[in-house]
Amino acid sequence: MNNNPSLNPADNGSLAGTLQFVFKKLLQSVDNLLPAQVIEYGRTNNRVSVQSLISMITTSNTLVPRQQISSIPVLVMGGGGYFMSYPLNTGDLGWIAANDRDISLFLQSYNEAAPNTNRVKSFSDAVFIPDIMHGYTIAGEDSEKLVIQDANGDTKITLGDGEINLQSGNVNIMIDNSSAEINSPAISIVMGSPANSINLNGGIIATGDVIAPNIP
């Protein structure tokens, strides 16, 4: 059985085909972006070890797994003193993106630094971008909102036009421009509708004093 050649036989004897082959081989040595899976994550130093999920293939159609990439930084979106961090677990998905130059000295100081080697577009200088990709559902009522939630949707925070909604299981807190509403299986409280009032659906059990000086 003949192996598939690296060079397209139709390009033999063609200058354009030769140049195309050369460019293809050059690009094969340049890293850019690939999906990857978490092998190990250290949240304290925000470094992750990952396995690329796109293998290499030989001319004999043999799949060759890529080497694991160790201790690369994880993208943490943030600025102005605020950020979002995720508790990554083994098996979580994401993307490895190769930097244009060696960033090892930059990662030691987080200040301007020269490249330490001549590496160009290498996954040795990658950053990991977490991406859940699949296995989650956005509720229909949240389709036009910003959503922060767990994969099954039981715990979530949503931001819509003039409203914030917090939900944990059967407990829900809704805040809009005019009122705040708290609902749970045991009690429902609406504050500010009508203005300056609290409507309570349920009893009141107080272990301390209840002071209401304006009650006649």
Neighbours of 90 (CB within 10 A): 10
**pTM for the whole structure:** 0.79
Question: CA dist 159 to 84, 89, 156, 196, Å?
Answer: 16, 27, 10, 24
Residue 206 has pLDDT above 90, yes or no: no
pLDDT digits (tens, 9 = 90+) for 127-162: 999 999 999 999 999 999 999 999 999 999 999 999
Strands of 56-191, DSSP E: 56-57, 63-64, 69-73, 78-79, 82-83, 93-101, 120-130, 146-149, 155-160, 163-168, 171-176, 180-183, 188-191
The per-residue pLDDT for 135 is 93
The per-residue pLDDT for 26 is 67
- Across the range 185-199, mean pLDDT stands at 74
pLDDT-based confidence at 1, cuts 50/70/90? very low
Q: Are 89 and 38 in contact (CB under 8 A)?
A: yes
pLDDT-based confidence at 207, cuts 50/70/90? confident
Q: Of the ranges 9-18, 95-104, 149-158, 207-216, which one carries the lowest mean pLDDT score?
A: 9-18
Neighbours of 134 (CB within 10 A): 7
pLDDT digits (tens, 9 = 90+) for 25-79: 666 678 899 999 999 999 999 999 999 999 988 878 889 999 999 999 999 999 9
Question: In CATH, which of 3.40.50.300, 3.40.630.30, 2.40.50.230, 2.60.210.10 is domain 31-130?
Answer: 2.40.50.230
3-state secondary structure of 58: coil
Neighbours of 174 (CB within 10 A): 16
Q: Are 67 and 79 in contact (CB under 8 A)?
A: no
The per-residue pLDDT for 22 is 67
- Across the range 190-211, mean pLDDT stands at 77
Token pair, residue 66, equals 């890529």
